[in-house]
Amino acid sequence: MHMSGIWFGTTDWSQIEAVEHPGESGAAYWRTQKFGAIRVRMIEYTPGYLADHWCSKGHILLCLEGELHTELEDGRNFILTPGMSYQVADNAEPHRSSTAIGAKLFVVD
């Protein structure tokens, strides 16, 4: 990833409107900023959230709060707790997220 044309700035995530993205169950609330081709999001999943699709987009993701379960299409499962992250490239390994207790994430893609 090449980052250019992005001047120093700060983001007060509480001032960014949260947009609801319903899952198969529960919901995800995205606060999104774009910096050129780079999308940066603060995402909050409600308890009981299950994604309604397999995602093939690459991400760098940091779990800030709660617990995130990530299932890969090949059957592997991973659990992230606060302070843990994952990274995956575009079109590398389809994945989907769920959480029983809710989660707050910082995502760059």
What is the per-residue pLDDT across 46-56, written as a single tens digit (0 to 9) for each? Answer: 999 999 999 99
Domain ranges of the chain: 41-78+99-109
Residue 1 has pLDDT above 80, yes or no: no
* pLDDT confidence of residue 99: 98
By CB neighbour count within 10 A (0-12 exposed, 13-18 middle, 19+ buried), where does 61 fall?
buried
Which phi and psi angles does 75 have, rounded to 5°? 100, -10
Q: What is the pTM for the complete model shown? A: 0.91
**Tokens in use for 92?**
């590398």
